[in-house]
Amino acid sequence: MARFVFITGGVVSSLGKGLASAALGALLQARGFSVRLRKLDPYLNVDPGTMSPFEHGEVFVTDDGAETDLDLGHYERFTGVAARMTDSISSGRVYSNVLEKERRGEYLGKTIQVIPHVTNEIKDFIRIGEDEVDFMLCEIGGTVGDIEGLPFFEAIRQFAQEKPRGQCVFMHLTLLPYIGAAGELKTKPTQHSVKELRSIGLAPDILVCRADRPIPAKEREKLALFCNVRPDSVIAALDLKSIYEAPMAYHRQGLDQAVLDAFGISPAPRPNLERWEDVTDRVDTAEGEVRIAVVGKYTQLEDAYKSVSEALTHGGMANRVKVRAEWVDSEIFEREDPSVYLQDFHAILVPGGFGERGTEGMIKAAQFAREKGVPYLGICLGMQIAVIEAARNLAGLKDAGSEEFDHEAGKKRFTPVVYHLKEWVKGNHTVARKVDDDKGGTMRLGAYTAILRPDSKTAKAYGTTEIEERHRHRYEVDGKYREKLEACGMVFAGMSPDGRLPEIIEWKDHPWFVGVQFHPELKSKPFAPAPLFRDFIRAAKEVDRLV
């Protein structure tokens, strides 16, 4: 039966609970334990699938088709354990489940209340798969004191009470601000945060204190005394050059040992940290630098492309180069010549996105990459953009477009090279969708198989002709234009198993130009980079002169 670690946060948000959770998971793995990580989010959206990238950052997609918080991406990247639909839940999903049960009469006419019905639903979620792993790490979103988080805090309090003593540990992440005028780190915000936590029945076993400098012994002793934790359970979370230094940094601070001590696991298995020593070495010993232009529409918030950013870093680590990704707003190219902006980059990446805004600029970026021989990676919308560009400029389809942008009847005449997918095969059954369906969860989501051409760059990258990658989209390239496009030199390098849906396109006479309908960045890890990102950075590295 699993031991449970509940990770909470206080003082301010964005301190790195997700990263701390992921690093702890990696360290427990290094000691030979199996782990699973979960995220409990207090927001009322059913899932982040319909939330603006500017509001919430990236939507991370699992193999089984769940749209989840980006922290699950951190969990996967650090542990290599594929996230599942059952690893993420929000208040919206909890309340939706409770109300559906009430409508079905499962509560036998009782008055539905936060306690016990909502808290029981949360506890049932936490219990899923508890017999499968040694440790279950559950991160509670938001900060202690947030009114929307109270049902989750109450649920984990009850859960710990119901479990045998010593089976649950609480880890609390806080901020130690440095006051320059006083010349010292201040512990009072952390003390108040712990006081708030204890007022709702929770007492931290471990304090993880985010700080921009080492924590003096005096402050550690004060935190231990006033927060009622052991001195060796006050862990410093210092600023790092790279997030991939976190497992080694937390190990040096004694986080994994503190957790094992809290559970009474003694003697603790010795850790094997070779994987993370190698990762850290690759971060520290980069030889040279490549500049990648990420031409997209959500460039104001880097978290909107979090997995893309991390996969580029992984590709750089595989090639021992530093990757400098620069975010370029595609709308600029609708007014100005893209060559002025793009000529100094080693490669161009056009990521996924939704809606018409900025797409004409992306088309110009894809054209620049094709004509100038610049390495190009198009992901999801980025592949569709590359197809539209070729259809317009090479295949004679001057009015080529996408139903996503030009679907309004009578708006303008266009050739739908990209169309709304209304039916596809998932496993052994057919999935159907309509244009006016609700937006949430109505896309082609999760892992699907693609069959690759043996002589393609993609097959060479993966080392196989059959792959499985994650999808998140409503629109597909129309295969009926394949013959016209292939006559121009485009290679349809990957198709769905039934041969209907184009999955990958390449250019025959180009150093490295690949567009994929799926999202290879979602499965990339620092110790196992996504093959396409690895080869994309290798191609960028081989550019011996700036364009």
Model confidence pLDDT, tens digit, residues 269-295: 999 999 999 999 999 888 899 999 999
Report the DSSP beta bridge partners of residue 475.
420
Mean pLDDT score, 351-370: 89
What are the CA-CA distances from residue 393 to residues 104, 233, 372, 400, 547 (Å)? 57, 63, 15, 9, 21
What percent of the chain lies above the pLDDT cut of 70? 93
**What is the per-residue burial (b if ≥16 Cβ within 10 Å, else e) of 112-146?**
eeeeebbbebbbebbeeeeeebbbbbbbbbbbbbe
Q: Catalytic pick from 380, 403, 471, 503? A: 380
Mean pLDDT score, 72-99: 95
CATH number of 288-418+479-493+502-541: 3.40.50.880
Instruction: Note the pLDDT of residue 434.
Output: 59
* Confidence band for 305, pLDDT divided at 50, 70 and 90: confident
Instruction: Note the pLDDT of residue 415.
Output: 83
Quick one: DSSP state of residue 118?
I
pTM here is 0.91
Mean pLDDT score, 336-343: 89
Mean pLDDT score, 110-119: 95
Q: Catalytic pick from 172, 473, 510, 519? A: 519
Whether residue 380 lies in the annotated active site: yes
Q: Determine phi and psi for 44, rounding to 5 degrees.
A: -90, -5
Q: Determine phi and psi for 47, rounding to 5 degrees.
A: -155, 170
Mean pLDDT score, 388-401: 92
Strand order in the sheet with 347-350: 322-329, 289-296, 347-350, 376-379, 513-516, 502-507, 490-495, 444-452, 466-473
What are the residue ranges of CATH 3.40.50.300 in the chain? 3-279
Instruction: Determine the residue type at 509.
Output: D
Instruction: Determine the residue type at 285.
Output: T
3-state secondary structure of 386: helix
Whether residue 346 lies in the annotated active site: no
3-state secondary structure of 420: strand
Instruction: Note the pLDDT of residue 410.
Output: 46
* Confidence band for 304, pLDDT divided at 50, 70 and 90: confident
Summarize pLDDT for 150-202 with one digit per residue, the tens: 999 999 999 999 999 999 999 999 999 999 888 899 999 999 999 999 999 99
More confident residue, 415 or 243: 243
3-state secondary structure of 24: helix
Q: Which fold has domain 3-279?
A: Rossmann fold (3.40.50)
Report the alpha-carbon distance of residue 83 to residue 493 in Å, rounded. 28
What are the residue ranges of CATH 3.40.50.880 in the chain? 288-418+479-493+502-541
- How many C-beta atoms lie closer than 10 Å to residue 191's C-beta? 16
Under 8 Å between Cβ of 449 and 522? no
Report the alpha-carbon distance of residue 547 to residue 426 in Å, rounded. 43
Instruction: Note the pLDDT of residue 309.
Output: 94
